Amino acid sequence: MSSLFRFIFICALTGWALLFVLPLKQPRADSHKTARYAALLGAVDSPLLDASQEHLPLPPHLTAEAAVVYDPLQNEFLFQKNAEQLFGIASITKIMTALAALERIGENDIIEIHAEAVAAEGDEAGLLTGEHFSLRNLIVLMLASSSNDAAVAIAEHVGFVYGAGSFEESQNIFVRFMNETAGNLGLTDTHFENPTGLDTDEKAGIISNVSTAEETARLIGYALRYPLMHNMHPIPATLPSEEGSEHVLSPTHTLLMNEPGVISGKTGFTDAAGGTLATVAEIPVGKLSIIVVLNSTRLDRFDDTARLLDWLRTH
């Protein structure tokens, strides 16, 4: 019965009628359980920021489905959005291509360009059959211009060094090295099927190389131990082959050219993976931060990163 009702007890005692009105009390609720259940039902408001948090800037609005800001020196994530969700990484793949090669051959090793590499989809470096490049220069071409032909040439060379008997086998051997390196770094959600970042079937939306924003940032943090990838600024206008032929670089990471503090990074885009971007910045000078955005758009990946850089400056 409701607590609004009362029981009236009339007692007859030595000729007197004594009237007691006793309200029925509701059982006392367990305050901890009530709060827990209310929270599960969404009935409890989010707690207010404490005084130490009130000065922090609000996180920026992003088009990207996933993003992180990572401090590799402190191993700390300063910003996260869907950081552990799996996405295609497109040509950010080439960071691993460079890393897997540098761990197995020297950066001054000379690589011959073969017809199979020249035939790769996307010839941004304009490589020619029979030319020779140092691994160092091919990596710069690959990262700055997002050259697929350079990536395939690097994989082919390393594959043959390690016993490949055909072009296809060379690619398979190299991809195995890429995945071995990912495994050694504990990147359990990162997987590669080629050294370029091209997707298996863009029309069908079949993505080849995948990772999370968190693991991509950790990969880049590891790669920064190589000076070649630590600081790509300024990017040279041209790079020579061993024969002396100059190849024009067309940088794809526009923030590397015009955003203060940005020192390195890698772009990526496919129809299936969307726009991806990895950026290394020193903000302030000497304090490294890695910004990764995944599944944005071709244009918004730059705007997303610029917003995160602005957020970082006020953090």
pLDDT for 121 equals 85
121 within 8 A of 198, measured Cβ to Cβ: yes
- For residue 315, what are its two tokens? 């953090």
pLDDT reading at 42 higher than 60: no
180 within 8 A of 192, measured Cβ to Cβ: no
pLDDT for 234 equals 83
pLDDT reading at 8 higher than 90: no
- The torsion region of residue 43 among left (phi > 0), alpha (psi -120 to 50) and beta comes to alpha
Per-domain boundaries in the chain: 66-313
pLDDT reading at 184 higher than 60: yes
CA–CA distance, 100 with 211 (Å, rounded to integer): 16
Q: How confident is the model at residue 310 (pLDDT cuts 50, 70, 90)?
A: very high
Please give the average per-residue pLDDT across 277-300, as a whole number: 95
Least confident of 18-22, 113-117, 256-260, 305-309: 18-22
pLDDT for 123 equals 61
Q: What is the DSSP letter of 59?
A: P
CA–CA distance, 80 with 67 (Å, rounded to integer): 6
Topology (CATH) of 66-313: Beta-lactamase (3.40.710)
CA–CA distance, 8 with 19 (Å, rounded to integer): 7
Return the amino acid letter for 133. Answer: F
Residue 154, judged by CB atoms within 10 A of its CB (0-12, 13-18, 19+), counts as: buried
pLDDT tens-place string over residues 207-252: 999 999 999 999 999 999 999 999 888 888 999 999 999 999 989 9
